[in-house]
Structure 1
Amino acid sequence: MRIVEATDAYSRHVRDVRRLSPATVRAYAADLADLAGSTGDVELSDIDLEHLREWLWRATKRGDARSTIARRTAAARGFFAWALEAGLTTTDPSLRLVAPKRGRTLPHVAAADAVGDLLDQLARTAAEGDPIALRDHALLEMLYGSGIRVSELCGLDLDDIDHDRRTARVTGKGSKERVVPFGAPAAAALDAYLVRGRPVLSARRDDGSALRAIFLGARGARLGPRATYEVVSRVLGPVVGSAVGPHALRHSAATHLLDGGADLRTVQELLGHASLGTTQIYTHVSSERLAATYRLAHPRA
């Protein structure tokens, strides 16, 4: 089997069988398409370890980040393990492929007071009744108030919200569902948007059909991750001081929870992390803040 045909089959496998997130499926498909292009679409059985090392070396010379190289390594390993199990090849050349160690990148975290001031300003703007302003206020309150991912926010439907308990049912990575709480400010912003903002946006749909999606775009369609990123970057960027997206609010929510005394397991469950190790990066962020405060305040620092 040619490698292009095999990589296309693997993309369908991770999408339909392993049910990885659409973003992961797209990333793996792009990585393996690049691998196929670099080898000239040879027979799958002709790929060896040197082909793979050459492929990663080219990506390194191109300036790809270590995290990207590590993801490409993971894509190749998963692909060849699947191909071996499926009987498409008799060897797995990726077994000795070494991934670079990922650099530790601390997330952007906005100060709690700055986020609070920003959300208060959005509330004042939304009070004037503009449907987009009402949506943007509810959107940022939900991202910060619940710590959910942007894909989870965009996937929210009307019946996913329990208004009495102030919880949302979200579908995370691997199609895993969990229920997350959100606070009174987010509940108030969401209610205002659903009553005064969403009906106006919903009425703008060209085909007149009704959507169950909570967050809608200016023309009434479900709001997508890219549009959400643009909203958050426009609003939150001046506060953080750099180009940031919805994940910055997730990082900030997690860090502020730990700063406020929440235990690590609770934050892990709230964020939907499969591994506690993923959540532990936020303890490092909090420790950095503690150390900075100590250096400023302690006479013997």
Structure 2
Amino acid sequence: MLARHDHATSWLQAWSDLGRAPRTIDAYARGLAEYLLLCEREQIDPVTAKRSHVAVYVRELSARPHHRGANVISLDSGSGLANATIQQRLVAVRLFYDFLVEEGLRQSNPVGRGRYVPGRRRSGGLQQGLFPRLTKLPWIPSDDQWLRVLDVARREPVRNRVMLALAYDAALRREELCSLRTDDIDPAHRTLRVRAETTKNRLERVVPYSAPTGVLLSSYLAHRATVSRARGPLFLSESRRNHAQPLSLWTWSKVVRRIALEAEVERFSTHTTRHLCLTDLARMGWEVHAIATFAGHRHTDSTLRYIHLSGRDLADKLNRGMQHIHAWRIQTLTSEQMPTTDGVVHG
């Protein structure tokens, strides 16, 4: 599909030349290919397409059944595709039209962006884009669900156990975890170097891991030497087909998915450990800037999406507050003198 559109090929090549991550290029290519396929089917010239034509694409995405059907874990768009997936598809189309505008092939971008409009008080002056963006709190398991996951995980091979431990201890994203190399580990200080090229926003960071994880890591390194003594990728495949090759992202996802199903915690994913770690740091009283540094976020706005308190935490806070209010109201009812909210009694 993309090969039939010279402008699309040129745009993707430009992004590749700029050093964008291969997975990012692949995601953009798939999103744009879907849009171009719709244009071809509807007999729309993508170079001259209008906002109404892009709206047809949005409508199709909103109503499209998910290709995984009954295997979909959760939906947040009210349809087959999640809100975040639809937003990702639109990003590819919007960036493609940015390219066409820069090349002088168009005057404006039909996808557009949310922009400030004077007088729109209710929305803070921000005009909504083509499709509403939903920002949901990340899901984390309850204590019982986490224990069920750990009960299954403790029967896993040492490689899988240490990967799960590091994913939680250091709040690692899937790619950051699977891309660790033997020289990224500093056992003397119990730290990991997360290289910039493996991170989402190209920010390198050094993060600690716990002493129990260090013991487990030492056991894995001894086991790894029986698979390969070569330095390089830390986590290696032990299958017959890919023996001693770097463990792929998809293999790790399958491992976590299998653990989740066996533990009957289907929402548990490779990113859940990161959510849980950052939330636990917030519960321990870490400042938001410290958590942002630990997580590798450029802005604290991103960190705040991860930091949410469980219903139990909120209930405790509410209970403590209500005890004070209740005591004041009872005092008001039982005293002949009139107390105030600051505790001063007036005759």
TM-score scaled by structure 2?
A: 0.72
In percent, how many aligned pairs have the same letter? 28
Aligned counterpart, 1:8: 9
The answer for unaligned runs of 5 or more in structure 2 is 65-78, 115-128, 327-347
Distance of 2:28 and 2:48 partners within structure 1:
21
Alpha-carbon shift at residue 264 of structure 1 (Å): 1.2
1:6·1:44 contact (CA, 8 Å) conserved in 2? no
Aligned counterpart, 1:128: none
Distance of 1:73 and 1:3 partners within structure 2:
21
Provide closer, same or farther for how the CA distance between residues 113 and 141 of structure 1 changes in structure 2, counting only shifts above 3 A: farther
Equivalent pairs, count: 285
User: What amino acid maps onto 1:25 in structure 2?
Assistant: I
The answer for unaligned runs of 5 or more in structure 1 is 126-131, 204-209
Distance of 1:179 and 1:280 partners within structure 2:
21
In the alignment, structure 1 residue 144 sits paired with structure 2 residue 168: yes
Alpha-carbon shift at residue 248 of structure 1 (Å): 0.6
Counterparts of 1:1-301 in structure 2, within 5 Å, are 4-17=5-18, 19=20, 21-40=21-40, 43-62=45-64, 63=79, 64-95=81-112, 98-111=129-142, 115=146, 125=155, 133-170=157-194, 171-195=198-222, 197-202=223-228, 210=230, 212-218=232-238, 219-237=243-261, 241-283=265-307, 285-286=308-309, 288-293=311-316
Provide closer, same or farther for how the CA distance between residues 174 and 16 of structure 1 changes in structure 2, counting only shifts above 3 A: farther
User: What amino acid maps onto 1:249 in structure 2?
Assistant: T
Higher normalized contact order (CA 8 Å, seq sep 6+, divided by chain length)? 1
Bigger mean CA offset, 289-298 vs 185-194: 289-298
Alpha-carbon shift at residue 101 of structure 1 (Å): 2.5
User: What amino acid maps onto 2:224 in structure 1?
Assistant: R
Give the structure with the higher percent helix. Answer: 1
Provide closer, same or farther for how the CA distance between residues 189 and 261 of structure 1 changes in structure 2, counting only shifts above 3 A: same
Distance of 2:4 and 2:52 partners within structure 1:
16
1:146·1:182 contact (CA, 8 Å) conserved in 2? yes
Alpha-carbon shift at residue 81 of structure 1 (Å): 1.1
Q: Does the residue aligned with 1:180 lie in a helix, a strand or coil?
A: strand
Alpha-carbon shift at residue 104 of structure 1 (Å): 3.3
CA RMSD between the two structures: 3.1
User: What amino acid maps onto 1:217 in structure 2?
Assistant: S
User: What amino acid maps onto 2:257 in structure 1?
Assistant: S
**Structure index of larger Rg:** 2
Alpha-carbon shift at residue 33 of structure 1 (Å): 0.4
